Amino acid sequence: MTKRKKNKIRRAYILRGISGSGKTTHARVITALEHERAGRIVDVKQFSADDFFVGRDGQYRFDPRRLGDAHAQCMRKFEAAVLEGTEVVICDNTNTTAEEFGAYARLADIHGYDVRVVTVYRDPVVCSEQQRHAVPPQVVFDQYRRLLAADIPRRWNPETVFHH
């Protein structure tokens, strides 16, 4: 059962975009805007499969063989935050397909969150050149094709952000 508190914000942002598009940066902007909108410090938790690959030393070490484990851990943490009633939850994975972002959106929706699926667009050539995860260019372009093909249901308040 989800813990509920009076007058509490219940908003979920599901960010989607190709590697290097600025999802994590946009999540920081959302956090600041939520604090400003509420006029107080809001309980915000941000989740990313990338966190799985950050070692105790703070270094990012991607291992494609562990990607399934990374996404499973991200979903478990997101679900735990929703179930404990965190005011604002943010998932900033690539979420290029309806299946990927839909799992997070449905979970938040079922538990009474105002869901917003935010697509962060940036030129895939720029992303391929500037992203910090050493994702091969072909993978970035494949992500972009999937991103463009996915439909977002209106009930999840689709938004678009362009990063330059």
State residue 92 phi and psi, 5-degree precision: -120, 45
Contact 26, 15 (CB under 8 A): yes
Give me the pLDDT at residue 18, please: 96
User: Per residue in 54-112, pLDDT tens?
Assistant: 999 999 898 989 999 999 999 999 999 999 999 999 999 999 999 999 999 999 999 99
11-162 classified as CATH 3.40.50.300: yes
How far from 55 is each of 27, 33, 97, 106, CA to CA, in Å? 21, 29, 28, 30
Domain ranges within the chain, ordered by starting residue: 11-162
Residue with tokens 């997101």: 78
User: Per residue in 14-52, pLDDT tens?
Assistant: 999 999 999 999 999 999 999 999 999 999 999 999 999
Task: Provide the mean pLDDT of the chain.
Answer: 93
Start-to-end CA distance of the chain, whole Å, equals 42
Q: Distance between CA 95 and CA 122 in Å, rounded?
A: 15
Residue 132 in this model has a pLDDT that exceeds 80? no
